[in-house]
A and B are shown apart, each in its own frame.
Chain A
Amino acid sequence: DAEITQSPRHKITETGRQVTLACHQTWNHNNMFWYRQDLGHGLRLIHYSYGVQDTNKGEVSDGYSVSRSNTEDLPLTLESAASSQTSVYFCASSGNRETEAFFGQGTRLTVV
């Protein structure tokens, strides 16, 4: 069965360190997204990609970057982790339909 997986599921890092969260999907979807989920804010879009070599900024992109070198993967990098980036991060992918996005299980990141 096709799926979308995130790793690691939990991570603790120190302020100022670079961190990369992995996202891998086997749906063969062109579109991939990174969201963060915080109490009181729901899910907010960080970055997204509509295909290989395509990346775009979302609503809360400052301090984050992504790269898309193949269809399956969209890693999210925190250039210099800050305590404000403590959150749960979700990766999602979708086909060409404008409705359905499939989400991973999430990565809980704590910056201390």
Chain B
Amino acid sequence: QKEVEQDPGPLSVPEGAIVSLNCTYSNSAFQYFMWYRQYSRKGPELLMYTYSSGNKEDGRFTAQVDKSSKYISLFIRDSQPSDSATYLCAMSARGSSNTGKLIFGQGTTLQVKP
């Protein structure tokens, strides 16, 4: 079983829809939770990160972490065609020996249709 599970999709929605992306994980040592966005033939770029549990909002994007359920989510409001990309969740444990060592989900491919 993989440490981090993510539905690969693909997910297709109309412009303006609310998108929900999710990951589950099994390692209770994970403390940092990230969402990366990757456009076709590009490297991943950090979109949002959350430490421990709770919510974080940045414009149209909201990240949620539920450590009790080992479940994280990314919500995109008023989705735009420019949001079409692959979204990867990533996690890491705390401590200097874990710096930058990210465990990724498989990535969900999102297409937002005009």
Q: List the interface of chain A (C-beta within 8 A of B).
A: 31, 33, 35, 40-45, 48, 50, 58, 90, 92-94, 96-106
Number of contacting residues on B, CB 8 A?
29
Given A40-B106, A43-B88, A92 and B100 contact (CB-CB distance below 8 Å): yes
CB proximity of A110 to chain B, nearest CB, Å: 15
A–B pairs, 19, beta carbons within 8 Å: A31-B100, A33-B101, A40-B8, A42-B6, A42-B88, A42-B104, A42-B107, A43-B102, A45-B103, A48-B101, A90-B43, A94-B99, A98-B92, A99-B46, A100-B46, A101-B102, A102-B46, A104-B43, A105-B42
CB proximity of A52 to chain B, nearest CB, Å: 16
| A interface SS class | strand
B34 adjacent to chain A (CB < 8 Å): yes
- By the criterion CB–CB under 8 Å, are B105 and A42 in contact? yes
Of the residues B8, B31, B43, contact of A105 by C-beta under 8 Å: B43
B1 adjacent to chain A (CB < 8 Å): no
- By the criterion CB–CB under 8 Å, are A98 and B98 in contact? yes
Residue-wise interface mask of B (39-50) relative to A, using a CB-CB cutoff of 8 A (1 in contact, 0 not):
001111110010
Which residues of chain B are near A35, meaning CB under 8 Å?
A: 104
Across the interface, name the chain B residue whose C-beta is closest to A9.
Answer: B41
B32 adjacent to chain A (CB < 8 Å): yes
Residue-wise interface mask of B (78-104) relative to A, using a CB-CB cutoff of 8 A (1 in contact, 0 not):
000000000010101011001111111
Which residues of chain A are near B106, meaning CB under 8 Å?
A: 40-42
Which residues of chain B are near A58, meaning CB under 8 Å?
A: 101
CB proximity of B51 to chain A, nearest CB, Å: 8
Given A98-B94, A99-B49, A100-B49, A43 and B44 contact (CB-CB distance below 8 Å): yes
Bound form: Cα–Cα A42–B25 in Å: 14
- By the criterion CB–CB under 8 Å, are B46 and A31 in contact? no
With contacts A94-B100, A100-B49 known, what are 4 further pairs, Cβ within 8 A?
Answer: A50-B99, A98-B99, A103-B43, A106-B41
